Structure 1
Amino acid sequence: MTTIIDDIKAHTILVENGSGVLVQPMDESHTYILTAKHVIEIAKDSKTYKGAENISARRADGTEFTVRSVHIHPDIDAALLALDFIGNITIPLSLTAPKRGDKVIVCGSPTKRRNENIDSVREFDGIIKRYGATDWELFAESHVDYEEVVGISGGGLFLEQNDSAFLLGVETSISGLRDIENTNRIEGVTLKAFQEILLFARGEGFALPDLLPLHLGSFSSSISSTFDLRDGTDPETVAFVRKVLHGVAKKLIDNNAPQPLAIKKGYESRLLISGRDLDELLDQKLWASYLEYLIISTIVDDKDQVSIDYILELNGRRRFFYASTDGSWTTLLQNVFKSDLMGLRKSGRIIIATKGTASRACPNQITLKSIIPDISRADLGDYRIDSIFKSFEEADFKIMHIAGMAQECIIDKEHEFQKFDNTSISELVSKLKAEFNEFL
């Protein structure tokens, strides 16, 4: 099983005598390496830079990459190297700035380690001292030898959060002189510097995609991650039902379903359970789950098309929330009641999605009753629910986990789906509608 550090190291690149970090932008035309521009200078302090054909970029295992174009920030020590699409580049980018005192990780390839032919990628733990618009500064948690950090310029700065590492920027310099044995201050640039590079590049005629995750560009990249149905005794039947559900997804996409990015821009934190970090909006699991939500909703509502207007209307009947946790989703229920429930009508459905699975759709009613807040006595600022409701009991919202719903509707009744095949897909969809309608 890979660790967060393994994942970080897998995205760390050796660029010339420095380092870089692989990132995937929002379409499959390119993959990027983010680095410091001084790493690709022709000569130190020359302020002239190597062309794409002269830049060496490789993984620690020797895998080489061909640089297609080089893009330099005119004022900041940052460079973006555009490659052909690679695939399986999974490090998410951070949407939020870290706070002073947050623990972070810097990862790069020290020259000393390359020369000694040992594990050439090394990580350093640090604490954020300052994080500005385009630059940052941190203190290493312990003093490090100067020779141990020479060569990490261009390596990534990462924030560990919710069992993932989020990229914050790249390292550009360390404090201290060469004859000083130890140093503990490291500096770098934020992702905003690379967003500015993309703007400059587009002004020069380069068609480079935004520095956002691939799955925000289209739901197509999330189809294979939907309905991860487990624990069935008839894998062939379950696989067929899953194929039909994926077919529904493809039809919605072919009929111009909104891009995830458009939905994200329209709803932002309202897609998250109260108290969650904005970075969770970038989770691929959120958008795979949201696609499941649209598939189920359109089956129940007899729709073959999704529009922004349909999603807006849907919000009055059903409300989707996500939390990036592998733990028991029922521990989130108190915060669910503090989430954005404005506009959700009486008896509306609250659909929860998490990274974890759920064997049942709905929480135990005794558990639920014990945590339903009394809004008649609560600070109204804690709750976002229409004022027409005097209590949550009156609102009569139904709460369920989307994975648990699929479990109960499909896995628990898989024997009822065994009779369907390619000649009876419409009947299978009708069966799914009847099952999902029991919850929605």
Structure 2
Amino acid sequence: MVLDEIRHYVVVLNEGSGILFQPVDSNATYILTAKHVIQNAQNTVQILKRFVEHDNILHAEDIPFNMSLGNNYFEHPDADVAILKIAKLQGLNQIIRTDDITADRESYILAGYPQMRRNLQIDPDYLNAYRTDEGITIQGPRNNSLREARIPDRPGLEEVRGHSGGGVGKIDDGFFLLAGIQSQMVDALDEQLGKIEFSPMSSFDSLVTLHPEHLVNLDPPHLGSFSFLTEASFLLRVNQFNEQNIAYTRNFLKTETEKIVNSGIAPHEIRRHFKRRLLLDQASPNVLNGRNIWIAWLEFLTIVNIMEYTDVEEADLKKLFNSFRLLYSDTTNDWTFEVQKMIHADYHGLPSGSVVVIGTNSSPLDGLYEIEAKTIPNLMRVTNKGLMQTDNGIKFPFDHYRFVHLDSFKKKCIIDKIAEYSHIFDEQQLLTKLQEEYEQYIDRKQN
């Protein structure tokens, strides 16, 4: 996602704004807004427009909405938040929530349709009314669950009015991370310039819990099912000359991912079980809401399924995590830059001699798909033992575990042996071949 694409998620709502958000709901899309945007319009929805692009031209579209309190409109009794539930819209997959606003405070954006930009005589469709304020800094908590934020250049109330219900967030790793919804300027008149208050996503969580029969958790769809990720798995990139030699194997592996989809295991269940223990960098919880970590998990579980000769189910997750652990980092650097984090990752419950699989956003450089203990510089062994997350008897992770990159199962077991796969067009024969390759690779000892 780039800055201009945020607009596709920002709607004109009465005299304010709103944010389109796709939760784990196959039939509905939500509009998150400030409650007073509806109340100030006599508790009605008078204007509701979104903006879509056709042939590089932006068009305004009215969103049909017949408001019914408690059925398709929900407001919090205390907090200044409300949710409009509309028929599902397609293509809203680049916005996810962030709750990491205490540690990550810089470089946020406020997106909405301020009043001073609205001129119905020359711009009846609000095409020129949109504005993003960049460089916003998150401040401390305020009353009624609000958070304070500071906009650069100290805009006044007239410049901000109409932004109510707009989104406060930031672009990261191809997503717009939504931190919350703009509510108001700060109360103190002598401090209003540039100081706003917004409702964090936790306020919307509170609203959702009040209506469990109508609203679902504000998680992106891919957390509800691995089915949203199957096409992005097992890409097995090769040159064009080898494409015909790998196509059958690639398609077979993608088909095998359906067993994980049908098992009932879902990303949100794995997240619920293990939380930040899934991450190399436990200070980056937003990674758990993204797609890449769950693409890695889909591939990992599919590989385990093939090796175990049986289907992995939710009840097996804890046992799997304590025998064959996947840890993920969203880095785009080479995985050797993550060694220090590997040293301090969470290994509780993992016995000595186990395999640790590392997933990252890029394939290893220089063909290094395994990091052996003997390659670790002595300086890295001099570490604060208090930071180690290991069980008794395990002093240094690289002396007790084998560290391999997730891509090694594609590179070492398939692509490097592509000639051996080029003539296999039988599912059982291919399954047996993959089982043998995976098992030999896992059982191989470090030199």
For the pair 1:129 / 2:139, whether they are aligned, the reply is yes
Query: Which of 403, 408, 411 is the matching residue for 2:412?
Result: 408
For the pair 1:49 / 2:43, whether they are aligned, the reply is yes
**1:361·1:400 contact (CA, 8 Å) conserved in 2?**
no
| Larger CA deviation: 357-366 vs 221-230 | 357-366
Q: Report the 3-state secondary structure (helix = DSSP H, G, I; strand = E; otherwise coil) of the residue aligned with 1:188.
A: strand
Q: Report the 3-state secondary structure (helix = DSSP H, G, I; strand = E; otherwise coil) of the residue aligned with 1:252.
A: helix
1:113 maps to which residue?
117
CA 1:79–1:402: 2 relative to 1, 3 Å: same
Q: Report the 3-state secondary structure (helix = DSSP H, G, I; strand = E; otherwise coil) of the residue aligned with 1:76.
A: coil
Matches within 5 A, 1:343-362: 343-358=349-364, 360=367, 362=369
1:296, 1:262 → 2: CA distance? Answer: 19
Q: Report the 3-state secondary structure (helix = DSSP H, G, I; strand = E; otherwise coil) of the residue aligned with 1:63.
A: strand
1:96 maps to which residue?
100
Deviation at 1:283, TM superposition (A): 1.4
Q: Report the 3-state secondary structure (helix = DSSP H, G, I; strand = E; otherwise coil) of the residue aligned with 2:60.
A: coil
Matches within 5 A, 1:381-396: 381-392=386-397, 394-395=399-400
1:268-311 alpha-carbon deviations (Å, 9 max, x no partner): 011000444111111111111111110011111211x2223422
Query: Which of 268, 286, 293 is the matching residue for 2:300?
Result: 293
Scaled by the length of structure 2, the TM-score of the pair is 0.85
2:441 maps to which residue?
439
| Larger CA deviation: 57-66 vs 186-195 | 57-66
Q: Report the 3-state secondary structure (helix = DSSP H, G, I; strand = E; otherwise coil) of the residue aligned with 2:31.
A: strand
Scaled by the length of structure 1, the TM-score of the pair is 0.86
Deviation at 1:112, TM superposition (A): 3.2
Aligned length: 420
Query: Which of 160, 164, 170 is the matching residue for 1:149?
Result: 160
Matched to 2:206, the amino acid is E
**1:274·1:339 contact (CA, 8 Å) conserved in 2?**
yes
Matched to 1:169, the amino acid is G
Listed as ranges, the gaps of 5+ residues in structure 1 are none
Q: Report the 3-state secondary structure (helix = DSSP H, G, I; strand = E; otherwise coil) of the residue aligned with 1:14.
A: strand
2:104, 2:314 → 1: CA distance? Answer: 39
CA 1:416–1:64: 2 relative to 1, 3 Å: farther
**1:36·1:79 contact (CA, 8 Å) conserved in 2?**
yes
CA 1:177–1:57: 2 relative to 1, 3 Å: farther
2:55 maps to which residue?
none
Deviation at 1:332, TM superposition (A): 0.4
CA 1:114–1:243: 2 relative to 1, 3 Å: farther
Matched to 1:21, the amino acid is I
Identity of aligned residues (%): 25
For the pair 1:77 / 2:80, whether they are aligned, the reply is yes
CA 1:386–1:175: 2 relative to 1, 3 Å: closer
Query: Which of 50, 55, 59 is the matching residue for 1:58?
Result: 50
1:399, 1:245 → 2: CA distance? Answer: 23
For the pair 1:329 / 2:332, whether they are aligned, the reply is no
For the pair 1:247 / 2:255, whether they are aligned, the reply is yes
2:423 maps to which residue?
419
1:403, 1:285 → 2: CA distance? Answer: 13
Q: Report the 3-state secondary structure (helix = DSSP H, G, I; strand = E; otherwise coil) of the residue aligned with 1:413.
A: helix
For the pair 1:380 / 2:378, whether they are aligned, the reply is no
2:269 maps to which residue?
262
**2:8·2:50 contact (CA, 8 Å) conserved in 1?**
no
Matched to 2:80, the amino acid is D
CA RMSD, Structure 1 to Structure 2 (Å): 2.8
**2:166·2:182 contact (CA, 8 Å) conserved in 1?**
yes
2:27 maps to which residue?
29
Deviation at 1:155, TM superposition (A): 0.4
Q: Report the 3-state secondary structure (helix = DSSP H, G, I; strand = E; otherwise coil) of the residue aligned with 1:74.
A: coil
Matched to 2:130, the amino acid is V
Query: Which of 6, 9, 22 is the matching residue for 1:8?
Result: 6
1:190-242 alpha-carbon deviations (Å, 9 max, x no partner): 2122222223333xxx4322111211111111211211222333324433222
Q: Report the 3-state secondary structure (helix = DSSP H, G, I; strand = E; otherwise coil) of the residue aligned with 2:351.
A: coil
**2:145·2:199 contact (CA, 8 Å) conserved in 1?**
yes
1:297, 1:191 → 2: CA distance? Answer: 36
**2:276·2:282 contact (CA, 8 Å) conserved in 1?**
no
Matches within 5 A, 1:307-318: 307-318=313-324
2:179, 2:362 → 1: CA distance? Answer: 26
Matched to 1:431, the amino acid is K
2:230, 2:409 → 1: CA distance? Answer: 18
**1:361·1:402 contact (CA, 8 Å) conserved in 2?**
no
